[in-house]
Structure 1
């Protein structure tokens, strides 16, 4: 049994979770909590090391966020990813499994979406038959 029941609890305690600032239905980016200085420093160093690796999930995720937002937002997101992965490794007593640089594409691709939608329809008690759209017609 770990001290933190979920990975979110650990990230919140460490001050690594994203901040939240909402008022009158408008949400803005918020500051993160202070948390542990030494843990934040260690995770930042690990993030910079992970960002320079090749063909890894963390490097691809870092590059994706850095392109859309900023370097600091990307560092914060990868710090969070590393901490969540650590929690799962400790809590589940398992080894780290690399997801690969194309994990986001595999997760959100058309094949995954089709599989997810079929499962939802079957869960509602419907029988699903899939036919590909004929391009010749």
Structure 2
């Protein structure tokens, strides 16, 4: 919080002004879960810094403050450039795990706001490098690795997917991740969730409507009638890489 940061900076500035004074209170500097370990922490930081070390720390502190200021200037420029796309950015912020406006801006900067350039959501996912490759020969799939495309947007979506699967606020995503993880492993399940997030963003920008978790909850429910014909079963097996053999009986 801002209060925690200000109190920490005040103590640091006081220490740098008088490095021989170690009588400051460390409680405002630690996380709440560490308060039970105050005696041990006191022993861990027991000591002092020399005036020369304090001067060096002042230079480092000023350098950090300057970098932080330059970062704020760049963020202001980015926000001003993103103003024409505020409607689309606000829609993307309704997607689970997209809480930072700069994450939404990064998505817009990569795929734009006009989804007509992608015929379908699958095309957008393929462009972002989130679709498994189709490497099949003689009915056998040799590789299902994703491509190297989307070197900027793919890491962002993977990071968002990794965060959202840990939360129980979005069961439509977490349940799908847990099911995929059992069969395909963590890494492939995360890629599938990242693909799910990009698909949601595609439809949100296409339809100009916020994220709707009910659509994914409905698709997560198995249909009552799960019967298929023999022909459909054969096509399904072939799509999964199986070679169907005819068995003759005598």
TM-score with structure 2 length normalisation? 0.41
Say whether the 8 Å CA contact 1:59–1:101 is kept in structure 2.
Answer: no
Say whether the 8 Å CA contact 1:47–1:75 is kept in structure 2.
Answer: yes
Residue 75 of structure 1, aligned match among 169, 184, 190: 190
Aligned with 1:89: secondary structure?
Answer: helix
Q: Offset at 1:40?
A: 1.1
Aligned twin of 1:5 = 119
Aligned with 1:22: secondary structure?
Answer: strand
Say whether the 8 Å CA contact 2:167–2:174 is kept in structure 1.
Answer: yes
TM-score with structure 1 length normalisation? 0.71
Aligned twin of 1:97 = 212
Q: Offset at 1:74?
A: 0.3
* Root mean square deviation of aligned Cα: 2.1
Alpha-carbon distance change, 63 to 101 in structure 1, aligned in 2, over 3 angstroms: farther
Q: Offset at 1:29?
A: 3.8
CA deviations over 1:42-74 (Å, ceiling 9, x no partner): 101110111011152111111111111200110
Residue 62 of structure 1, aligned match among 156, 177, 182: 177
More strand by share: 1
Residue 157 of structure 2, aligned match among 29, 43, 47: 43
Say whether the 8 Å CA contact 2:176–2:220 is kept in structure 1.
Answer: no
Alpha-carbon distance change, 92 to 105 in structure 1, aligned in 2, over 3 angstroms: closer
Count of residue pairs the alignment pairs up = 111
Mind listing any 5+ residue stretches in structure 2 that lack a counterpart?
1-113, 227-250
Distance 2:212 2:191 in 1: 21
